[in-house]
């Protein structure tokens, strides 16, 4: 999709369809009335005939004949002005793109009127629209061999706006960088595990390391042993593919020793191990590396945005499979931190590999560590698919992440990490158990387990189990991996001080 910006006259716009965003509030703004006049008053007619109220996601397509360089206008409602956010813009743009590609429209212009006062700046608006368009168009088609099954794509997308073109265009460029990273992360999640094993994640990280100032180092099984990452080793025992520990560093501020650390769960397939999962939906567990994928893609975007910050992504990567050599319920294993863990359930493997990565993070003397993990089904029960679970040990960091979530549209909701939960992960015969005693609260007790491995740094945990995968098609997004975690991580890094 070729994206460009444009601020001359509406008479110069050449496209098949013009998309026009409108708010519920009436009367229409002078700016909208002016272009409506040039289009023959179609908006006012639609409003008057009560065919269009501009409710969020509402759409009306109107034919305007041949008087301008486009013959169709797609009116798209954004709802109430006061509720405008980057998420509303992203989804609005996404809905338009998916609607128009279904009718095989390939040349689209978008008119972006002044959307609201100070709430969102021109750059943010450009960025959100661009992100919405590019993520909406994404489809995972690598394994389709029939050309006729491939979706049509938008060739040209032109934004026509009265916003200052320089800041708006910069927003578009940044949106393209972030969307590319988000879509790459979706590719990693959608790749089946027979293609995407730990070595595949390594090659994806090495690809990112071709970007200036990025370096990738990988610990192989021998080095993982030397580092005493016994929890990661235990989880990998049943698999044929060896585990990897990926370290992806971006040094955007070489003068500083400060590091922000991202940790991502990299289970390339989670069968549950000996505590095997039921067959239904087990196929989806190819996306259990979504946290690791998000961490790799966040580094990609941050490096391409050239942010002045030092970031490292740590990704423990392995499969979780049953075999004669697999770790078993009842086993007591070690960890890099030296703590012993009683394995109650081999399906609670994410917290085990993260424990070793969170311990490894310490050597960076991090300003903060944020982990991303499809950690628990309990988080999906608690929050559904609309927000990632957020927990941590530092209210300042939690606050920053909430703000980043709001700005990026990658939504999070905090769950309480009270000390009572920690008691539920203590074992009678080892230091910890990997599955809690007592009833419920599984998303929190998993985080409580992780918190046992945090030493001397601020930490937050994002459980993306519910947000990283979509079983249904949305008006603004296709099925499968969503790339959740990437945009919020980038936003956090951007605002980092
Ligand atoms: N990868 C799963 C969590 C998951 C479930 C992610 C559904 C996305 C959708 C994780 O490894 C797991 O299986 N967790 C168990 C933990 C339990 C055994 C304590 C769970 O949530 O059931
Ligand atoms: Zn599991
Ligand atoms: Zn898992």
283, 377, 448, 481: which to mutate for ligand 1, most atoms within 8 A of CB? 377
351, 376, 439, 485: which to mutate for ligand 1, most atoms within 8 A of CB? 376
Query: For position 260, what pLDDT does the model report?
Result: 98
Q: What is the pLDDT along the chain (497 residues), one digit of tens a residue?
A: 999 998 888 888 899 999 999 999 888 888 899 989 999 999 999 888 888 999 999 999 999 998 899 999 999 999 999 899 999 999 999 999 999 999 999 999 999 988 766 678 999 999 999 999 999 999 999 999 998 878 888 999 999 998 999 999 999 999 999 999 999 999 999 999 999 999 999 999 999 999 999 999 999 999 999 999 999 999 999 999 999 999 999 999 999 999 999 999 999 999 999 999 999 999 999 999 999 999 999 999 999 999 999 999 999 999 999 999 999 999 999 999 999 999 999 999 999 999 999 999 999 999 999 999 999 999 999 999 999 999 999 999 999 999 999 999 999 999 999 999 999 999 999 999 999 999 999 999 999 999 999 989 999 999 999 999 999 999 999 999 999 999 999 999 999 98
Query: For position 27, what pLDDT does the model report?
Result: 87
371 forms bridges with which residues in the sheet? 263, 461
Number of other CB atoms surrounding residue 422 within 10 Å: 18
Query: For position 117, what pLDDT does the model report?
Result: 65
Residue ranges per structural domain of the chain: 2-161, 183-495
The pair phi, psi for residue 364, each rounded to 5°, is -85, 0
Query: For position 202, what pLDDT does the model report?
Result: 98
**N-term to C-term CA, the chain:** 35
Binding site membership of 465 for ligand 1 (Cβ less than 6 Å): yes
391 forms bridges with which residues in the sheet? 461
Query: For position 12, what pLDDT does the model report?
Result: 87
Which of 113, 119, 60 has the alpha carbon at shortest distance from 87? Answer: 119
Q: In 365-474, where do the E strands start and end?
A: 368-373, 388-392, 412-414, 432-433, 459-463, 469-470
Query: For position 151, what pLDDT does the model report?
Result: 82
294, 341, 347: which to mutate for ligand 1, most atoms within 8 A of CB? 347
Scan for tokens 């100070």, then name that residue. 118
Helix (H, G, I), strand (E, B) or coil at 351: helix
Query: Quick check: is 351 catalytic?
Result: yes
* CATH code of the domain occupying 2-161: 3.40.220.10
Number of other CB atoms surrounding residue 474 within 10 Å: 14
Alpha-carbon span 309 to 65, nearest angstrom: 52
Do residues 470 and 388 make contact, with C-beta atoms less than 8 angstroms apart?
no
In eight-state DSSP terms, residue 435 is S
Q: Residue 165, exposed/middle/buried by CB under 10 A (0-12, 13-18, 19+)?
A: middle
Query: For position 131, what pLDDT does the model report?
Result: 98
Query: Quick check: is 186 catalytic?
Result: no
Binding site membership of 464 for ligand 1 (Cβ less than 6 Å): no
Q: In this structure, which residue's CA is closest to atom 5 in ligand 1?
A: 377
CA of 377 to the centre of ligand 1 (A): 5
Q: The tokens of 246 are what?
A: 């990926």
CA of 328 to the centre of ligand 2 (A): 13
Binding site membership of 380 for ligand 1 (Cβ less than 6 Å): yes
C-alpha distances out from residue 10 to 1, 32, 38, 227, Å: 22, 12, 8, 63
Nearest ligand to the CA atom of 272: 2
Query: For position 116, what pLDDT does the model report?
Result: 67
Catalytic residue among 277, 339, 411, 426: 277
Question: Parallel, antiparallel, or unpaired for β 480-481 and 469-470?
Answer: antiparallel
Fold classification of 183-495 is Aminopeptidase (3.40.630)
């Amino acid at each position: 999709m070729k994206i460009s910006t444009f601020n001359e006259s509406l008479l110069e716009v050449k496209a098949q369809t013009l998309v026009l965003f409108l708010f519920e509030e009436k009367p229409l703004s002078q700016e909208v009335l002016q272009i409506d006049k040039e289009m023959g008053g179609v908006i006012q007619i639609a409003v008057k005939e009560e065919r269009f109220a501009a409710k969020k996601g509402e759409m009306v397509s109107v034919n305007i004949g041949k008087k301008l360089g486009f013959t169709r206008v797609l009116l798209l409602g954004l709802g109430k002005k006061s509720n405008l956010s980057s998420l509303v813009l992203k989804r609005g743009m996404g809905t338009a793109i998916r609607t128009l590609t279904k009718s095989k429209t390939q040349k689209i212009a978008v008119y972006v009127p002044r959307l609201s006062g100070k709430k969102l700046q021109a750059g943010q608006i450009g960025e959100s629209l661009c992100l919405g368009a590019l993520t909406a168009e994404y489809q995972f088609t690598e394994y389709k061999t029939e050309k006729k099954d491939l979706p049509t794509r938008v060739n040209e997308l032109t934004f026509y706006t009265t916003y200052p073109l320089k800041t708006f265009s910069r927003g578009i460029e940044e949106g393209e960088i972030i969307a590319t990273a988000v879509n790459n992360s979706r590719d990693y999640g959608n790749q089946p595990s027979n293609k995407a094993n730990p070595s595949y994640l390594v090659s994806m990280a090495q690809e990112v390391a071709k970007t200036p100032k990025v370096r990738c180092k990988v610990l192989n099984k021998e080095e993982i042993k030397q580092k005493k990452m016994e929890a990661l080793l235990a989880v990998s025992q049943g698999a044929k593919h060896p585990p990897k520990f990926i370290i992806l560093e971006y040094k955007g501020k070489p003068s500083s020793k400060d590091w922000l650390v991202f940790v991502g769960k990299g289970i390339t397939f989670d069968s549950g191990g000996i505590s095997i999962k039921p067959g239904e939906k087990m196929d989806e567990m190819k996306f259990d590396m979504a946290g690791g994928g998000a961490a790799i893609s966040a580094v990609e975007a941050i490096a391409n945005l050239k942010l002045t910050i030092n970031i490292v992504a740590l990704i423990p990567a392995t499969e979780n499979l049953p075999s004669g050599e697999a770790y078993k319920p009842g086993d007591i294993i070690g960890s890099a931190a030296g703590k012993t863990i009683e394995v109650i359930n081999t399906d609670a493997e994410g917290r085990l590999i993260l424990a070793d990565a969170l311990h490894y993070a310490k050597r960076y003397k991090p300003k903060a560590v944020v982990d991303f993990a499809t950690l628990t089904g309990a988080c999906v029960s608690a929050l559904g698919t609309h927000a990632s679970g957020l927990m941590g040990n530092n209210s300042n960091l939690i606050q920053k992440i909430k703000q980043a979530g709001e700005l990026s549209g990658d939504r999070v909701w905090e769950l309480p990490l009270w000390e009572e939960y920690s008691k539920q992960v203590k074992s009678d015969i080892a230091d910890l158990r990997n599955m809690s005693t007592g009833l419920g609260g599984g998303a929190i007790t998993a985080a409580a387990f992780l918190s046992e491995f945090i030493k001397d740094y601020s930490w937050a945990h994002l459980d993306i189990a519910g947000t990283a995968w979509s079983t249904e098609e949305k008006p603004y997004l296709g099925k499968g991996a969503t790339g959740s975690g990437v945009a919020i991580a980038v936003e956090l890094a951007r605002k980092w001080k």
